[in-house]
Amino acid sequence: MKQYIELSQEVQKGMEAGLPIVALESTIISHGMPYPQNVQTAREVEQILRDHGAVPATIAIIDGKIKIGLSDEELEMFGNAKDVAKASRRDIPYLIATKKIGATTVAATMIAAELAGIELFVTGGIGGVHRGAETTMDISADLEELATSKVGVVCAGAKSILDIGLTLEFLETKGVPVMGYGTDELPAFFTRQSGFDVNFRVNTPEEVANTLRTKWNLNMKGGAVIANPIPEVDALDHDFITDIIMKALAEANEQGIHGKDVTPFLLGKVKELTEGKSLVANIALVKNNALVGAKIAVALNNNK
Ligand code: PSU
Ligand code: MN
């Protein structure tokens, strides 16, 4: 298996020193944000982790390897490349075998993190059950992965491009705990409110770390969602963003978008229709997640 995995120098050294490592996904870089803001944000997020005692490991598929940690040149190349395939669980073997460039989704990043022994992962938003899934069966592989891989995922909740209620039902069926970091309500990415309760409110990094450690000590497979609300000052107006999401959904329907293109299409439309406001909010919430994620990773590392 080792032939398929390559650690960056920074990650290798961090592991040898017993430092907490935090995984970062790369679909958010290739499909979630435009160049050059994507590369700049990725660098800033990595630095926030370092500044708070953790080692960043941005994950991507390059040259027939799952890279655990990218060098600065790799990050630049990746963020600016034209032919990057979105890689979820299904896509990993083909992209490695054909030496294509793959951007790992939440699901694929969790797989890579677990293979590398990384217990915590920071991102923006997770995939979920799409609206209309009762006929399209469009349910993100992220959810199945949360039930399978032993990785904690810090995010800002789920966007209301999804059916948040059904997403929570699916996670409940699969036994994935959804914890609210300092909140009783599941945040909806751009806003702090979704109208849905989390399963457990957690108030400290230690509470999160102890819960994860207990789960894994019990030999229960799978991870957990740690939902960290966007800071109040960065949140978008609920009615403004709801209206835009409805328009994006209608357009996706009209154009018959399906499969792996649905999420990137909706994210792109939202960005376009908000004239960049969503991008600013997206960057702010990912940085905030990195801050919280670093603290959780440190607490997890102190509780081995
Ligand atoms: N939701 C977001 N931002 C993202 C994604 C989802 O708010 O960048 C990306 C993540 O990489 C996630 C993926 O894992 O989309 C889910 O895609 P799908 O719904 O096709 O599984
Ligand atoms: Mn899908």
Number of domains in the chain: 1
Q: Which of 10, 25, 114, 145 is catalytic?
A: 25
Q: Ligand 2 center to residue 127 CA distance, Å? A: 8
Is the pLDDT score of 1 beyond 90?
Answer: no
Nearest-atom index, ligand 1, CA of 189: 7
Q: Domain containing 52 — which CATH number?
A: 3.40.1790.10
Does the annotation flag 86 for ligand binding? yes
Q: For residue range 263-289, what is the model confidence (pLDDT) as tens digits?
A: 999 999 999 999 999 999 999 999 999
59-108 confidence digits (pLDDT tens): 999 999 999 999 999 999 999 999 999 999 999 999 999 999 999 999 99
d(CA 226, CA 146): 11
Q: Could you tell me if the CB of 159 is within 6 A of ligand 1?
A: yes
- Residue 273 CA to ligand 2 centre (angstroms): 22
**pLDDT at position 83, please?**
93
Average pLDDT along the chain: 97
Closest CA to 20 of 222, 156, 209, 169: 209
Of these residues, 67, 119, 150, 159, which one is catalytic? 159
Q: In 92-251, where do the E strands start and end?
A: 102-104, 120-122, 152-155, 178-181, 200-202, 224-227
Our answer on whether the CB atom of 91 is closer than 6 Å to any ligand 1 atom is no
pLDDT above 90 for 212: yes
Cα(94) to centroid of ligand 1, in Å?
20
Query: How is residue 35 written in tokens?
Result: 């160049």
**Beta carbon of 267 within 6 Å of any ligand 1 atom:** yes
Q: Which ligand 1 atom is the nearest neighbour of the CA of 108?
A: 14
Residue 112 annotated as part of some ligand binding site: no
Distances in whole angstroms, Cα of residue 265 to Cα of each of 102, 127, 134, 167, 270:
18, 13, 20, 19, 9
Is the pLDDT assigned to residue 109 strictly greater than 90? Answer: yes
- Residue 106 counted as an annotated binding residue: yes
285-296 as b/e: b if 16+ CB within 10 A: bbbbbbbbbbbb
Q: Is the pTM of this model over 0.95?
A: yes
pLDDT band at 154 (very low <50, low <70, confident <90, very high): very high
- In the chain, the percentage of residues whose pLDDT exceeds 90 is 99
CB of 141 sitting under 6 A from ligand 1 = yes
Q: Is 159 a catalytic residue?
A: yes
Does 25 sit in the ligand 1 pocket, CB within 6 Å?
yes
Digit-coded pLDDT (tens) for 179-192: 999 999 999 999 99
How large is the average pLDDT for residues 229-246? 97
- Cα of 303 vs centre of ligand 1, distance in Å, is 30
pLDDT at 3: 96
CB of 260 closer than 6 A to ligand 1?
A: yes
Domain that holds residue 285: 5-301
Q: By percentage, how much of the chain surpasses pLDDT 70?
A: 100
Residue nearest to atom 3 of ligand 1 (CA): 125
Would you say residue 255 has pLDDT above 90?
Answer: yes
